[in-house]
């Protein structure tokens, strides 16, 4: 098949007859690849079952993996969804048009091939103007998966689409590089609480802000743990480069050292290193590519392009940094873990975690008890110690009362001094204040992993000290610690 390529430009849009031609291909049951703000989509008339069948064929996509319907105006929802729950209205009001897909209960108007037989349908209103113009001109919702061959990284440039689907589809709209670089956030809004089925640029924190939810009110369920995945597409090995890929997680200096060591096992032109713009310069061996810039907030923009580039160069092994602690952590780590097939060298695999403060009667025992209450992994020993413990004292009554009030189990214990034997086996040591970190490092030269709690989760300053304060000050400390400890748990990737 001769694939026609037309273009769309940010300032000039489409050439006059091109948009109409593209819309006509859609209306007559053909396939058009088009840019969106996330990745390129492969579109067809969403109400035409035959056309949708051709999409599965062109991509080599399993037929139980449903498609997203793209709309240009909210009115288009009416014929395709049974109802619009309140939380959906709030989310749509803030994030549409944009990189968010919602799962609704479908009407009979939506063909079963689109939804893989599910009673629900995925809908997104893209922010990309060229995409919305196309949908409007076609006069129908456009069904569109990412425009890649199934199992390949999603396309973020027209060249990627040509590489995968050139001559298998009718038309490709070249709109240059996409803005975001990875697929939309998928949120199931059919239940009592929203469930994130695929993390994306719209983060859990952004959703919390709109819905007034917090902590783990909203779960991310990509279906990787057992049972049937809720977004069927998430079960397939995705985004995979041809080379084998390993993620390396740890603190910055350690990761650099480890990646350099691992990379040197291979010839320099056969090993790829995946990092950010900011850190690309520190590697002097191997083919170094970046997923985007932390500073410019474009992390992920070049991720799929880099994976494809490694394939072209023919590297045999890719070592990738991880992006825990960044705003887009959930989305980026989800894609990178899939690309790596879950392979990770984890330099943060600690078996003992020690919370340290000065006297070990107030803040560090509180952190210990809260952390124990949220960590399920029984292979991790969680303790607390002090730096100045002249004689052993029980935990501050204000702390035990407060924890009891919050139903956090409280163990009877007395303050203990941090000793050399505690440091055996390279534990993670978390202090509450910077001065305590300095003091640990001065006293124990074997202590390799010492951070303040706030530093560990990417923040500055010390944890607030309630000493001399009233009940409110202790309550505030509890809330602060709980928030930080949830972040710490996430950072450690433990259950």
Q: Does 33 bind ligand TXA (CB under 6 A)?
A: no
> Minimum distance between the CB of residue 66 and ligand TXA, rounded to whole angstroms?
3
Kindly give the pairing relationship between strand 271-275 and strand 352-357. unpaired
Query: How does DSSP assign 281-298, residue by residue?
Result: GG--SSEEEES--TTTT-
Closest to ligand TXA by CB, 132 or 482: 132
Closest to ligand TXA by CB, 153 or 427: 153
Closest to ligand TXA by CB, 141 or 233: 233
Q: What is the DSSP letter of 462?
A: P
The Cα 488–Cα 20 span in angstroms is 53
Q: What is the DSSP letter of 226?
A: S
> Minimum distance between the CB of residue 17 and ligand TXA, rounded to whole angstroms?
25
Q: Does 335 bind ligand TXA (CB under 6 A)?
A: no
- The closest residue (CB) to Mg ion is 146
Helix (H) or strand (E) holding 324: none
- Out of 174, 183, 321, 436, which residue is the one contacting ligand TXA (CB under 6 A)? 183
- Residue 111 touches which member of Mg ion, ligand TXA, none, C-beta under 5-8 Å by kind: none
Stretch that binds ligand TXA, among 65-73, 157-165, 361-369, 453-461 (CB under 6 A): 65-73
Three-state DSSP state, 187? strand
Q: In 340-470, where does DSSP find H-type helix? A: 363-374, 397-405, 434-443, 453-456
Stretch that binds ligand TXA, among 7-15, 38-46, 387-395, 448-456 (CB under 6 A): 38-46
Q: Does 415 bind ligand TXA (CB under 6 A)?
A: no
110 φψ region: left (φ > 0), alpha (ψ -120 to 50), beta (else):
beta
DSSP bridge pairs for 310: none
Helix (H) or strand (E) holding 191: none
Query: How does DSSP assign 91-122, residue by residue?
Result: HHHHH-SSSEEEEEEBPTTS-HHHHTT-SEEE
What is the four-CA torsion angle of 27, 167, 33, 49, rounded to 10 degrees? 40
- Out of 51, 52, 110, 186, which residue is the one contacting ligand TXA (CB under 6 A)? 186
Which sign does the torsion angle of CA 61, 241, 252, 259 carry? positive
Stretch that binds ligand TXA, among 1-9, 179-187, 260-268, 340-348 (CB under 6 A): 179-187
The Cα 389–Cα 419 span in angstroms is 11
How many CB atoms within 10 Å of residue 47?
Answer: 18
Which residues within the stretch 205-234 sit at the binding site for ligand TXA (CB under 6 A)?
Answer: 230-234
Q: Does 145 bind ligand TXA (CB under 6 A)?
A: yes
Q: Does 31 bind ligand TXA (CB under 6 A)?
A: no
Q: Does 332 bind ligand TXA (CB under 6 A)?
A: no
Stretch that binds ligand TXA, among 119-127, 205-213, 339-347, 382-390 (CB under 6 A): 119-127
Closest to ligand TXA by CB, 185 or 364: 185
How many alpha carbons fall within 13 Å on the CB side of residue 179?
12
Q: Does 66 bind ligand TXA (CB under 6 A)?
A: yes
> Minimum distance between the CB of residue 70 and ligand TXA, rounded to whole angstroms?
6
Closest to ligand TXA by CB, 41 or 286: 41
Contact positions toward Mg ion, by CB under 5 A? 146
> Minimum distance between the CB of residue 257 and ligand TXA, rounded to whole angstroms?
36
Q: Does 328 bind ligand TXA (CB under 6 A)?
A: no
- Residue 386 touches which member of Mg ion, ligand TXA, none, C-beta under 5-8 Å by kind: none
Q: Does 120 bind ligand TXA (CB under 6 A)?
A: yes
> Minimum distance between the CB of residue 77 and Mg ion, rounded to whole angstroms?
23
The Cα 230–Cα 250 span in angstroms is 31
Q: Does 118 bind ligand TXA (CB under 6 A)?
A: yes
Give the residue carrying structure tokens 């040509």: 162
What contacts 255, CB < 8 A, 6 or more positions away? 248, 249, 321, 322, 347
Q: In 222-296, where does DSSP find H-type helix? A: 252-263
- Residue 415 touches which member of ligand TXA, Mg ion, none, C-beta under 5-8 Å by kind: none
Q: Two tokens at 374?
A: 């949220």
Using CB under 6 A, count the residues that bind ligand TXA. Answer: 29
The Cα 311–Cα 316 span in angstroms is 9
- Residue 197 touches which member of Mg ion, ligand TXA, none, C-beta under 5-8 Å by kind: ligand TXA
Closest to Mg ion by CB, 144 or 383: 144
Residues 37, 125: contact at Cβ < 8 Å?
Answer: no
Q: Does 173 bind ligand TXA (CB under 6 A)?
A: no
The Cα 361–Cα 367 span in angstroms is 11
Residues at the contact surface with ligand TXA, assessed by CB under 6 A: 36, 38-39, 41, 65-68, 101, 103, 115, 118, 120-122, 124, 144-146, 183-184, 186, 197-198, 230-234
């Amino acid at each position: 098949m001769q694939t026609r390529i037309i273009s769309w430009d940010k300032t000039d849009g489409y050439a006059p007859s091109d948009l109409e031609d593209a819309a006509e291909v859609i209306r007559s049951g053909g396939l058009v690849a088009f840019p969106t703000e996330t990745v390129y989509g492969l579109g067809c008339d969403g109400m035409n079952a035959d056309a949708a069948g051709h999409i599965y064929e062109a991509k080599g996509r399993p037929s139980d993996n449903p498609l997203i319907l793209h709309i240009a105006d909210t009115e288009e929802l009416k014929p395709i969804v049974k109802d619009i729950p309140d939380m959906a209205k709030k989310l749509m009001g803030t994030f549409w048009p944009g990189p968010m897909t919602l799962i609704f209960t479908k009407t009979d108007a939506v063909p079963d091939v689109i939804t893989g037989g599910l009673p629900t349908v995925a809908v997104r209103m893209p922010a990309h103007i060229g995409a919305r113009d196309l949908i409007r001109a076609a006069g129908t919702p456009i069904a569109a998966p990412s425009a890649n061959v199934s199992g390949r990284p999603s396309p973020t440039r027209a060249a990627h689409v040509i590489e995968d689907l050139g001559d298998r589809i009718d038309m490709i709209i070249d709109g240059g590089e996409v803005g975001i670089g990875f697929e939309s956030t998928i949120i199931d809004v059919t239940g009592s609480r929203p469930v994130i089925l695929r993390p994306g640029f719209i983060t859990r924190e952004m959703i919390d802000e709109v819905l007034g939810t917090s902590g783990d009110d909203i779960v991310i369920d990509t279906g990787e743990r057992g049972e049937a995945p809720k977004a069927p597409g998430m079960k397939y090995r995705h985004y995979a480069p041809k080379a084998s890929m390993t993620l390396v997680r740890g603190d910055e200096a350690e990761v650099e050292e480890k990646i350099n060591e691992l990379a040197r096992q291979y010839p320099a032109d056969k090993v790829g290193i995946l990092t950010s713009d900011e850190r690309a310069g520190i590697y002097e061996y191997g083919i170094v590519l970046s997923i985007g810039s932390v500073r410019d907030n474009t992390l992920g923009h070049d991720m799929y392009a880099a994976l494809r580039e490694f394939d072209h160069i023919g590297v045999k092994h890719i070592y990738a940094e991880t992006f825990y602690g960044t705003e887009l952590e959930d989305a980026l780590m989800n894609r990178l873990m899939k690309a790596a097939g879950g392979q990770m060298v984890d330099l943060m695999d600690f078996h003992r975690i020690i919370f340290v403060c000065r006297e070990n009667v107030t803040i560090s025992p509180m952190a210990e008890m809260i952390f124990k209450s949220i960590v399920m992994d029984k292979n991790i020993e969680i303790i607390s110690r002090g730096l100045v413990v002249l004689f052993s004292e029980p935990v501050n009554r204000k702390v035990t009362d407060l924890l009891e009030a919050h139903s956090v189990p409280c163990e009877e214990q007395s303050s203990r001094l941090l000793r050399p034997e505690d440091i055996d086996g390279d534990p993670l040591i978390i202090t509450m204040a910077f001065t305590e970190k300095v003091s640990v490092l001065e006293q124990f030269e074997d202590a390799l992993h010492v951070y303040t709690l706030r530093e560990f989760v990417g923040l500055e300053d010390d944890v607030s000290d309630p000493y001399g304060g009233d009940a409110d000050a202790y309550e505030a400390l509890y809330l602060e610690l709980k928030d930080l400890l949830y972040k710490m748990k996430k950072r450690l990737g433990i259950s």
